[in-house]
Structure 1
Amino acid sequence: MGSSSKNIEQVQEICYLQWMGLQSQRIPELKQLLAKRQSHGDKDNDKKLRELTEMIIGDFKDYAGKRANLAHRHRCSSNYYAPSWNTPLENALIWMGGCRPSSFFRLVYALCGSQTEIRVTQFLRNIDGYDSSGGGGGASLSDLSAEQLAKINVLHVKIIDEEEKMTKKISSLQEDAADIPIATVAYEMEHVGEPNMVVDQALDKQEEAMAALLAEADTLRVDTLAKIVEILSPVQAADFLLAGKKLHLSMHEWGTMRDRRRHDRVVDSEGDARGEEVK
């Protein structure tokens, strides 16, 4: 059973690594089309940008489908709530097996503010070649119109409400772990390692419920991303998706580097301690 669980976890990790690899692949594709749009101002390129953003949403939807299939088929959804292939930093920020859909809006607002600040700085410094007209409109997230912002804000409020509903569901599910029959069996058993059909059935039911919630959360993530992209222009959408992918990959790398530094500090401190003992 332990070997089987490990194999399932490996399949889930491979699925995740393939997804991360695909995200890395999409970054240069987005950069290339955005650079071409910026340098040539060719609006015919917008069609290619829109096709690529739709493809990226499709990638996300396919990945969510694979996760749901692996979670349901093997009754092993709990791996997704604290993945071993994630760094501790990533798992500390995880919500329902992934990022909060509302974090997509925070990314839009952050990019909008940072790009506006850059444009103002460029204008004040009078950098040669800077186009204060904004390149024909919709050139970046700093060009969000009042109508776009209003739509994004309305959607943001709606998604936060959906998140709260799902958080209540997972809270209820977590409370069920201390309910009958699991609590009663745990109290009465002398050796937890003994097989117990009642416990297995209860935990299988728990895994199934968690798998359903994971699929629901992934659907909300995909739908939220798709609706934000619909509000944005092709260039803005590509810029937004590029930032999201870079953030996701960067968080994994930052978490890995922090773990490495933490490990090195522990090794160094143990070495110092052994040196003191020798003295």
Structure 2
Amino acid sequence: MEDKGKNIEQAQQSCYLGWMSLQSQRVLDLKQALAQRRSHEGTADAATDEKKLRELTQKIIGDFKDYARKRADLSHRCSSNYYAPSWNTPLENALIWMGGCRPSSFFRLVYALCGSQTEIRVTQFLRNVDGYDTSGSGGASLSDLTAEQLAKINVLHVKIIDEEEKMTKKVSSLQEDAADIPISTVAYAEEHVGEPNLAVDQALDKQEEAMATLLAEADNLRVYTLSKIIEVLAPMQAADFLLAGIKLHLSMHSWGALRDRRRRECIIEAADDAGGKEGK
């Protein structure tokens, strides 16, 4: 049974690593498409570039749907791995919600980009810089959100938060079930802690199935939220938004790994210092 569980975990991790590799490629694709569109600003080629941007953003949404489908398939064999993945860093697991990010965080990203890019534009204006250089990592398209776009995003934001709260209540109920019959009563009655028990196995299997269903629902909500935000945004805005989101996801993983290395080095240094003092 342990080997089977390990194989499932390896399959889940392999799926994740493939996803991260694809995301790295999408960063390059988005940068290239955005740079091409901006270089053709005001020309006849701009319309063609925008069509390519739409196709790319839809392809990326398709990537998310495909990844969610693969996770749903793998989670039915072992869903608990996704709630605290071993392939994640502790930092990522500390921020995780239902096996991933909160869908509502996508809106925070939109607002953050809108504000930061507007600030850049104002600074450029005050410095009397001719033109606006959007070739950098941020771009300026999200600072052009209209009142109508913001209103639609706000309405969607409220709706998604409501859905999140419903799902959070469901997972809270599942977590509380661990202290209910038969798990708690068997744990109390057993002479030796942790002995195999059929009733407990059946209860935990049922809980894993429920967790797999919730994971699929959460992934679907994430994909739905992304799709709806993309519908509101113009092609360049959508590409900017996806680029920022993917880079944030990849960066959090790298930053988490960096912080882990620093912590391990601190522990080793502390042990070395203690050994040195004892030697003296």
TM range (shorter): over 0.9
Aligned residue number for residue 4 of structure 1: 4
Q: Which amino acid aligns with 1:53?
A: T
Aligned residue number for residue 117 of structure 1: 119
Alignment of 1:85-96 (within 5 A): 85-96=87-98
Q: Structure 2, unaligned stretches of length 5 or more?
A: 134-138
Aligned residue number for residue 22 of structure 1: 22
1:102–1:160 Cα contact (<8 Å) kept: yes
Deviation at 1:106, TM superposition (A): 0.1
Deviation at 1:40, TM superposition (A): 1.1
Q: Which amino acid aligns with 1:244?
A: G
Q: How many Å separate the matches in 2 of 1:66 and 1:130?
A: 42
1:108–1:141 Cα contact (<8 Å) kept: yes
Aligned residue number for residue 268 of structure 1: 269
Counting aligned pairs with the same residue, the percent is 78
Aligned residue number for residue 108 of structure 2: 106
Alignment of 1:117-196 (within 5 A): 117-130=119-132, 140-196=141-197
Q: Structure 1, unaligned stretches of length 5 or more?
A: 132-137
Deviations 1:178-211 (A, max 9, x none): 1001111111111234321111100000000000
Q: How many Å separate the matches in 2 of 1:20 and 1:231?
A: 26
Q: Secondary structure at the match of 2:98?
A: coil
| Residues 1:139 and 1:260: Cα distance change in structure 2 (over 3 Å) | closer
Deviations 1:1-53 (A, max 9, x none): 22221111111001000000000000011001101111111122111000000
Q: How many Å separate the matches in 2 of 1:208 and 1:94?
A: 20
**Alignment partner for residue 83 of structure 1, among 73, 85, 88?**
85
Q: How many Å separate the matches in 2 of 1:130 and 1:164?
A: 41
Structure 1 vs Structure 2 CA RMSD: 1.2
Deviation at 1:123, TM superposition (A): 1.0
Q: How many Å separate the matches in 2 of 1:83 and 1:54?
A: 28
Q: Are residue 209 (structure 1) and residue 210 (structure 2) matched?
A: yes
Q: Which amino acid aligns with 1:110?
A: A
Q: Which amino acid aligns with 1:117?
A: E
Q: Which amino acid aligns with 1:231?
A: V
Q: Secondary structure at the match of 1:43?
A: helix
Q: Secondary structure at the match of 1:44?
A: helix
Q: Secondary structure at the match of 1:178?
A: coil
Aligned residue number for residue 245 of structure 1: 246
Deviations 1:65-115 (A, max 9, x none): 10000011x1x1000000010000000000000000000000000000000
Q: How many Å separate the matches in 2 of 1:186 and 1:8?
A: 27
Aligned residue number for residue 58 of structure 2: 54
Q: How many residues matched? A: 271
2:121–2:140 Cα contact (<8 Å) kept: no
Q: How many Å separate the matches in 1 of 2:39 and 2:121?
A: 17
TM-score, normalised by the number of residues in structure 1: 0.95
Q: How many Å separate the matches in 2 of 1:269 and 1:189?
A: 42
1:57–1:222 Cα contact (<8 Å) kept: yes
TM-score, normalised by the number of residues in structure 2: 0.95
Q: How many Å separate the matches in 1 of 2:35 and 2:192?
A: 64
Q: How many Å separate the matches in 2 of 1:177 and 1:169?
A: 14
After TM superposition, the structure 1 stretch with the greater mean CA deviation from structure 2, 193-202 or 207-216, is 193-202
Deviation at 1:126, TM superposition (A): 1.5
Q: How many Å separate the matches in 2 of 1:81 and 1:101?
A: 16
1:77–1:210 Cα contact (<8 Å) kept: yes
Q: Which amino acid aligns with 1:9?
A: E
